[in-house]
Chain A
């Protein structure tokens, strides 16, 4: 039976509609951006390259190593994909892996796939890459070390975001989900760091030229460093804060109205004059939900057109 490498693939039913739709929208933006950038960097060869490497990530997730007491660690691969293929190709590759896992193996839901793609496909990759980029002009050993930390932070960031999504959806209380998610994934993150570093070490030894395939290091722009560093610091600070002071988090969120908002039935978000026909009550909910999905669809459509326009210009 196919088992997922980490408890990060959220199934349908565990996130509220609003959170699901919100993260679909966010993922669409990032994936759209990745498509534009990847086209520029890789051109013709991008499809076979990313397709085969997506299969590679999937297969690599099968390679385990014993951790403690009979359990095994597995690679998630976000940081590895970003470091070896570049951040944008990395996003597309990891997104495809998450999408296929959900579509084909029901590992992760369909409605919540936007959130899963964001957590595992985008966050791990971007956080992983941007932290790695900080050390890109350093010696090999420092680069490897930063790759390890990058991998660790990527997993932690994904766990943090998953916890936030579960909490805001009302599925799990903060005081349980934050410590649990972050605690477990701190351990998993260490495993990820070790395998990532070991893999990169092997590649550097055997085929050092392969990693300059995308000329990542030459094209390295400074623009990555500051946001990357910032996000990394945020993750490092927020995680223990969230774990040790979840009640505080709840209080703040309640006062800001976050919790009510994300759990609210969609009808309450649309002002009354939009759907009076269907009257009060939750029947209108469905239409609101459908309208929400249609809006996301239209949004995606226009992003798609925008991308095509940029491609042809």
Chain B
């Protein structure tokens, strides 16, 4: 892992990039809500939603492949959902015999499964668009504007700041272990318990170093006047443009729902 893999933000000069992060977060949540509200088999709704995503993608001047590549990640849960094909009651479309079991695939089961996949796929693209067009510090700040608890936001900011530093330390520990692995006798190496002990030592090391670092950071904060209340500037101001786009976004999502249910 290097520094850039922590940075999902793709810099560009676009309308979406400049949009107030609060609006982006609210519209993203609304969009995902809209996706999940579309019923099974809502092909038109899904299609329109996807068109909207592509539209935002283009306006944001992002590469289409960027989003597409990252949107296919929900594999373990897909496996969990796949069984719904065989268990939802409906008209049989196919049957397989595996030993003494008979698997009956139903139409409604297949439809539900595919719909779950599509909803998930659409939603994750919305989330990717959000992080690709908004820096994490901005996301954190606007969550504060949206009245999320201050302490949680502060923790997120610190966490983000030290993510790379501590991840690097973890990588170094892993490399050191790998370097020593060649010299370890085979019997010891295969022992489950021994491996856990080594891993535990590494995590323990990291823990102690992190705790001590947090003390030093606290001292540094005190040295610059920190007395318990964490203050920040107000970097975001809503402009008319932001409100306008908010309303437009809302209307578009409503229209998708409206069209889907009135065809």
A–B touch (CB < 8 A): the answer is yes
- Mark A residues whose CB is within 8 Å of B: 2, 7, 10-14, 16-17, 20, 31-32, 35, 38-39, 43-56, 58-60, 62-67, 73, 75, 80, 84, 92-93, 95-97, 99-100, 102-107, 109-111, 166, 170-173, 175-177, 180-181, 191, 194-203, 206-207, 210, 213, 265, 281-283, 285-286, 289-290, 293, 300-301, 304, 307
Please name 15 pairs of A and B residues whose Cβ atoms are closer than 8 Å in the assembled complex, sorted by A: A12-B123, A12-B127, A16-B36, A49-B218, A51-B214, A52-B217, A55-B166, A60-B207, A73-B196, A103-B136, A110-B127, A176-B80, A198-B200, A202-B201, A203-B204
What is the CA–CA distance of A170 and B81 in the complex, to the nearest angstrom? 9
Q: Which of A65, A166, A285 contacts B199 (CB 8 A)?
A: A65
Task: Find the residue from B36, B128, B206 having the highest chain A CB count within 10 A.
Answer: B36
Q: How far is the CB of B234 from chain A (nearest CB, A)?
A: 18
What is the CA–CA distance of A31 and B226 in the complex, to the nearest angstrom? 24
- With contacts defined as CB atoms under 8 Å apart, how many contacts are there between chain A and chain B in the complex? 294
18 new A-B contacts at CB < 8 Å, known A51-B214, A75-B199: A12-B35, A31-B152, A47-B155, A48-B217, A48-B221, A54-B156, A62-B170, A84-B207, A110-B123, A111-B33, A195-B196, A198-B197, A199-B201, A202-B200, A283-B261, A285-B37, A285-B257, A304-B147
What is the CA–CA distance of A230 and B250 in the complex, to the nearest angstrom? 46
At the interface, yes or no: B92 with Cβ under 8 Å from chain A?
Answer: no
Q: Which residues on A sit within 8 Å (CB–CB) of B166?
A: 52, 55-56, 58-59
What is the CA–CA distance of A92 and B152 in the complex, to the nearest angstrom? 7
Q: Known interface pairs A44-B228, A110-B127, A176-B80. Does A60 touch B203 (Cβ–Cβ under 8 Å)?
A: yes
Segment at the A interface, from B52-60, B68-76, B237-245: B68-76
Interface residues of A, dominant DSSP: helix
CB-nearest residue of chain B relative to A167? B80
Cβ contact within 8 Å between A55 and B192: no
Cβ contact within 8 Å between A62 and B139: no
Q: Which residues on A sit within 8 Å (CB–CB) of B155?
A: 47, 50-51, 54, 92-93, 96
Q: Known interface pairs A13-B116, A17-B36, A180-B80. Does A58 touch B203 (Cβ–Cβ under 8 Å)?
A: no
Q: Which residues on A sit within 8 Å (CB–CB) of B123?
A: 11-13, 109-111
Tell me the chain B residues, 145-189 only, with Cβ under 8 Å from chain A: 147, 149, 151-152, 154-163, 165-167, 169-171, 173-174
CB-nearest residue of chain B relative to A105? B8
What is the CA–CA distance of A170 and B80 in the complex, to the nearest angstrom? 11
At the interface, yes or no: B205 with Cβ under 8 Å from chain A?
Answer: yes
Cβ contact within 8 Å between B165 and A55: yes
Tell me the chain B residues, 80-131 only, with Cβ under 8 Å from chain A: 80-81, 83-84, 87, 112, 116-124, 127-128, 131
Cβ contact within 8 Å between B196 and A65: yes
Q: Which residues on B sit within 8 Å (CB–CB) of A11?
A: 73-74, 77, 120, 123-124
Q: How far is the CB of A232 from chain B (nearest CB, A)?
A: 22
Task: Find the residue from B151, B163, B205 having the highest chain A CB count within 10 A.
Answer: B151
What is the CA–CA distance of A32 and B147 in the complex, to the nearest angstrom? 13
CB-nearest residue of chain A relative to B210? A56
Cβ contact within 8 Å between B33 and A289: yes
Cβ contact within 8 Å between B200 and A39: no
Q: Which residues on A sit within 8 Å (CB–CB) of B197?
A: 198, 201
At the interface, yes or no: B12 with Cβ under 8 Å from chain A?
Answer: no
Q: Which residues on B sit within 8 Å (CB–CB) of A45?
A: 214-215, 218
What is the CA–CA distance of A106 and B77 in the complex, to the nearest angstrom? 14
Cβ contact within 8 Å between A194 and B159: no
Q: Which residues on B sit within 8 Å (CB–CB) of A64?
A: 199
Cβ contact within 8 Å between A51 and B80: no
Cβ contact within 8 Å between B151 and A92: yes
Q: Which 3 A-B pairs have the closest CB atoms?
A: A198-B200, A51-B158, A202-B204
Cβ contact within 8 Å between A171 and B218: no
Q: Which of A38, A106, A210, A283 contacts B124 (CB 8 A)?
A: A106
Q: Known interface pairs A12-B36, A194-B196, A202-B200. Does A46 touch B151 (Cβ–Cβ under 8 Å)?
A: yes
Cβ contact within 8 Å between A58 and B163: yes
Cβ contact within 8 Å between A65 and B214: no
